[in-house]
A and B are shown apart, each in its own frame.
Chain A
Amino acid sequence: MSQRQQSQRLRIAVIEKDRERAHQVVDALSDAGDYEVSVIGDETGLARRLSSLDPDLVLIDVVNPSRDVLEELALASGPLERPVAMFVERTDDRLTAQAIEAGMSAYVVDGLHKDRIKPVLDAAIARFNMVSRMRRELEATKAALAERKTVDRAKGLLMAARGISEEEAYALLRRTAMDQGRKIGDVAAALVTAADLLK
């Protein structure tokens, strides 16, 4: 274990393209303790950049495909010389599951004491949780909007084809969905697709 790891501030590298999100993670980390945090926004030549930064800990969003590049670090200078492992190997399973659930990956240079990693991870996990909740909410809103548009189109098609009112068209969609054990959105989508095919 190097001297630095025992005596100096932890060096943390955060890999994040989105500047806003990078700021948030950096803020959360500086609230949690006194760390030296670097942000890598451009992932070109990632492995080389990381080796010149020589961080103790690397944080990266799970959805980032460049996560696989970090695996190279495990082999960069031979696993026996300077092992790099995912943090979870050195900590507990619950923390691992929490981090992955939150959508975060962290790599820690082997030999770093668990007590020094935990506060960093706790802070990062909390922040990642918030970000991924916001992302989920946004996706749910988008999906709901898209579904409403489809239902509106299906209603329009029914009104035109059968000469019924909007209310009757909606009732027909709902009844069909109930009869077939499907969602209104699915029935509407099927109708819209079929209508497009028949054009």
Chain B
Amino acid sequence: MIPVEAGFIPLVDAAPLIIAREMGFAEEEGIDLRLHRQPSWSVMRDRLAVGHLQAAHMLAPVPVAMSMGLGGLAVPLDATMLLSVNGTVIGVSPRLADAMRAHGVSNDFMAARLVGESLIAVVTETLRVGVPFPFSMHAELLYYWLGSLGLRAPEGLEVRTIPPPLMADAMATGEIDAFCVGEPWGSIAVERGVAELILPGCAIWRFAPEKVLAMARAMIERDPDLTRRLMRACWRSGRWLSDAAHHMTTAEILSRPGYLDVAPEIVERSLSGRLMISRGGEERQAPRFIEFHGGAAQFPWRSQALWIATRLAARTGLDRGDAAGVARDCFRADLFRSNLGPVGADMPGASEKLEGALPSETPVASSTGRLFLGPDSFFDGRIFDPADH
């Protein structure tokens, strides 16, 4: 057995790594997958960069930001594959939620425009929103959603970094008015009575790349065999996770003290997409709240990396053309094809696509001819064309 040291943050979307170990997918590939819970994203990124960890559960924008020279060491990290798509929630303080109800907020959990407009209408001062990391899909979705509706940083919106386990505390002390965070931390804030959930991240972008299996580029080059084994284990694990019959088992495993250390009932909410939005017990269903496998969810589309890069570049004042170039290289569609083709992963015909162009599930050209993509729309109907960048 080849030992592999991998890091994760206690989140439901760490499931592909945890399940790869617990259900034996790693062992089938001859690897002893040793999982290490990490205290923060930056520490995990740095440990990956200096080689203490060989692989990590990582926010999709981190490898892109790092290759653009934003934060951390100047060591190239690659996204070998996606571990999950979607899976975040937006919550507001009970005070804001009451004001939104008085204003007549939509009852539709997926109505990003109506919910956003109602939030903006009741905000009187700069809206302070917590996200887990400056380079995260959480931050990108917030800027996209509220920016598109006219609420922009820094005048109307202040996005602050709050570590997920401290998000409920920050709501309780009034340090922030709202948050965008991965599960189970949104549900935990609800349980503690300090927040109500108003929107799932997937209502803003129906197919947002969330977590990746990140490795240092030097590590991938030095050990292509280990990379292949690990990717296969994670791919099979994601396929297993996508079966609803496995939700209960998954929730039980993730809830263990060494992993998430929260009640299985709370973990199960995000796996099934049935979220309790307030302490009163009100439930909402989000379609494809979190996706581990279906719709080519594990494929690292270069157009997703480009979307992230252009958004980061616009916000930080970096050159978009340079950003696009380095971003393309760090989402390794090439590795995905060569390592997962032989085990039966269905391969899309292209490695870039229009982002946001599919309002519903659509058949596309693929290696087996049975691949369906989408929906992947943005709430405002915009389409991102990678050819423009």
Instruction: Determine whether the beta carbon of A71 is less than 8 Å from that of B71.
Output: yes
Smallest beta-carbon distance A19→chain B, Å? 20
Can you list, as one digit per residue, whether each of A23-48 has a CB less than 8 Å from chain B (1) or not (0)? Answer: 00000000000000000000011010
- CB < 8 Å neighbour of A71 from B47, B50, B134: B134
A63 to B315, CA, bound (A): 30
Can you list, as one digit per residue, whether each of B112-135 has a CB less than 8 Å from chain A (1) or not (0)? Answer: 000000000000000000001111
A190 at interface, CB cutoff 8 A: no
B72 at interface, CB cutoff 8 A: yes
A121 to B173, CA, bound (A): 34
Q: For residue B165, which residue of chain A has the nearest CB? A: A65
- CB < 8 Å neighbour of B50 from A44, A70, A96: A96
Smallest beta-carbon distance A109→chain B, Å? 14
Smallest beta-carbon distance B188→chain A, Å? 15
Instruction: Determine whether the beta carbon of B46 is less than 8 Å from that of A105.
Output: yes
Can you list, as one digit per residue, whether each of A87-102 has a CB less than 8 Å from chain B (1) or not (0)? Answer: 0110001001100110
A68 to B42, CA, bound (A): 6
Which residues of chain A are near B71, meaning CB under 8 Å?
71, 74-75, 85
B311 at interface, CB cutoff 8 A: no
A80 to B69, CA, bound (A): 11
Which residues of chain B are near A105, meaning CB under 8 Å?
42-43, 46
Instruction: Determine whether the beta carbon of A75 is less than 8 Å from that of B47.
Output: no
Instruction: Determine whether the beta carbon of B134 is less than 8 Å from that of A74.
Output: yes
Give the interface SS of chain B, mostly helix, strand, loop or mixed.
Answer: loop
B279 at interface, CB cutoff 8 A: no
Can you list, as one digit per residue, whether each of B254-296 has a CB less than 8 Å from chain A (1) or not (0)? Answer: 0000000000000000000000000000000000000000000
Q: For residue A67, which residue of chain B has the nearest CB? A: B40
Of B52, B69, B161, B173, the most chain A CB neighbours within 10 A belong to B161
Smallest beta-carbon distance A61→chain B, Å? 9
B39 at interface, CB cutoff 8 A: yes
Instruction: Determine whether the beta carbon of A79 is less than 8 Å from that of B316.
Output: yes
Instruction: Determine whether the beta carbon of B50 is less than 8 Å from that of A64.
Output: no
Which residues of chain B are near A64, meaning CB under 8 Å?
39-40
A172 to B236, CA, bound (A): 41
- CB < 8 Å neighbour of A68 from B70, B132, B318: B132
A54 at interface, CB cutoff 8 A: no
Smallest beta-carbon distance B314→chain A, Å? 12
Can you list, as one digit per residue, whether each of B71-97 has a CB less than 8 Å from chain A (1) or not (0)? Answer: 111100000000000000000000000
A72 to B166, CA, bound (A): 16
A75 to B134, CA, bound (A): 8
Number of interface residues of A (CB under 8 A): 29
- CB < 8 Å neighbour of B173 from A44, A47, A86, A96: A44
A124 to B43, CA, bound (A): 17
Q: For residue B169, which residue of chain A has the nearest CB? A: A44
A47 to B158, CA, bound (A): 12
Instruction: Determine whether the beta carbon of A67 is less than 8 Å from that of B43.
Output: yes
Of A69, A85, A93, the most chain B CB neighbours within 10 A belong to A69
Which residues of chain A are near B162, meaning CB under 8 Å?
69
Which residues of chain B are near A68, meaning CB under 8 Å?
40-42, 132-133, 161, 163
Smallest beta-carbon distance B134→chain A, Å? 5
Instruction: Determine whether the beta carbon of B46 is less than 8 Å from that of A89.
Output: no
Which residues of chain A are near B108, meaning CB under 8 Å?
none
Q: For residue A79, which residue of chain B has the nearest CB? A: B316
- Chain B residues numbered 37-66 whose CB sits less than 8 Å from any CB in chain A: 39-43, 46-47, 50-52
Smallest beta-carbon distance A99→chain B, Å? 9
Which residues of chain B are near A74, meaning CB under 8 Å?
70-71, 134
Instruction: Determine whether the beta carbon of A47 is less than 8 Å from that of B316.
Output: no
A65 to B40, CA, bound (A): 5
A71 to B135, CA, bound (A): 9
B175 at interface, CB cutoff 8 A: yes
B344 at interface, CB cutoff 8 A: no
Q: For residue A69, which residue of chain B has the nearest CB? A: B161
Smallest beta-carbon distance B319→chain A, Å? 11
Which residues of chain B are near A129, meaning CB under 8 Å?
none
Instruction: Determine whether the beta carbon of B39 is less than 8 Å from that of A75.
Output: no
Instruction: Determine whether the beta carbon of A66 is less than 8 Å from that of B43.
Output: no
A157 at interface, CB cutoff 8 A: no
- CB < 8 Å neighbour of B39 from A63, A100, A101: A63
B160 at interface, CB cutoff 8 A: yes
15 A-B contacts (beta carbon < 8 Å): A64-B40, A66-B166, A68-B40, A68-B41, A68-B163, A71-B41, A74-B134, A75-B70, A79-B69, A79-B317, A80-B318, A85-B71, A89-B73, A96-B46, A105-B43
Beyond the given A62-B39, A86-B46, A100-B47, please list 12 additional residue pairs across the A-B interface where CB-CB is below 8 A: A64-B39, A64-B40, A65-B40, A65-B166, A66-B40, A67-B40, A67-B43, A71-B133, A71-B161, A75-B315, A86-B73, A89-B73
Chain B residues with CB under 8 Å of chain A are: 39-43, 46-47, 50-52, 69-74, 132-135, 160-163, 165-166, 173, 175, 315-318
